[in-house]
Amino acid sequence: MSVTPYNELMGRLEGLDAAALCDAAGVAGVTVGVVDPSIRRVSRGTRLIGPARLVICDLDFLDVWRGLSEAEAGEALLIAAASDRAVVGELFTAEAARRGLAGIVVDGFCRDTAQLNGHQLPVYARGATPWAGTVDVARGSVEAVTLGGVVVRVGDLVFGDGDGVVIVPAAQVAELVPVAEEIQRREAAMLETVRQGGSIFDHTNLDEHYRRRAEGLPSRLEVRSSSTG
């Protein structure tokens, strides 16, 4: 596994947000996965951007130890944890930061929340419990997991911010980025119009679109970078 396919896009990805990626997916006809919103950020870290490294565990989280020990700088460690035990805490988070990981996403529970809350590495989890599992069962590597209702494959792009976590198939990242950038440019122009005393609706064909749809006619709501007002 390697972060190389994303290197040339990393700077551009860092300028995006999860909402823009989701909006871009609809425009570009790309299927992305939005992780269950119950899985929330529990650390101070901002954006999580990196290819997925995958782990499956339950009451026994030996494979989380192994996955962390093998993870490469820039990767996002994704853990599908089918249990009510904590599989990530302060020590694992500190080690992940030392190794240069992009972050950790747990479909399950963490602990040491006071320490994680002050940590800069992005960590997402369903909640917290002080109870950890055993470390005796070696399952081996996996190529795909279902995490937060989303099928994730090794190397898929994991993008997380304060709104949640989005999974983009590796082969479609380059196609999605320019569309997301254009969406953010249009939104920035709309905000600037509002700051200057104008309206966001000056950038749209809302009246015409609404009229046509009310009449059952084909139409598409258009959002433009420039104002018509």
CATH of the domain at 15: 3.50.30.40
Q: Which residue has the tokens 């990981």?
A: 101
Q: Is residue 197 part of a domain?
A: no
The DSSP H or E segment spanning 87 is: strand 86-88
Q: What is the pLDDT of residue 9?
A: 87
- Does the pLDDT of residue 14 top 80, yes or no? yes
Range of the domain at 87: 4-168
Angle, vertex CA 127, rays to CA 48 and CA 75, nearest 5: 25
Q: Is residue 188 part of a domain?
A: no
Q: Compute the distance between CA of residue 86 and CA of residue 125 in angstroms, rounded to an integer.
A: 10
Q: Is residue 199 part of a domain?
A: no
Q: Is residue 194 part of a domain?
A: no
Q: Are 88 and 125 in contact (CB under 8 A)?
A: yes
Q: Is residue 140 part of a domain?
A: yes
CA quadruple 193, 195, 199, 201: dihedral positive or negative?
Answer: positive
Q: Mapped to the 3 state alphabet, what secondary structure does 144-193 carry?
A: EEEECCEEEECCCEEEEECCEEEEECHHHHHHHHHHHHHHHHHHHHHHHH
Q: Is residue 42 part of a domain?
A: yes
> How many domains does the chain contain in total?
1
- Does the pLDDT of residue 225 top 90, yes or no? no
Q: Is residue 30 part of a domain?
A: yes
Q: Is residue 222 part of a domain?
A: no
Confidence label for 4 from pLDDT (cuts 50, 70 and 90): low
| pTM (2 d.p.) | 0.91
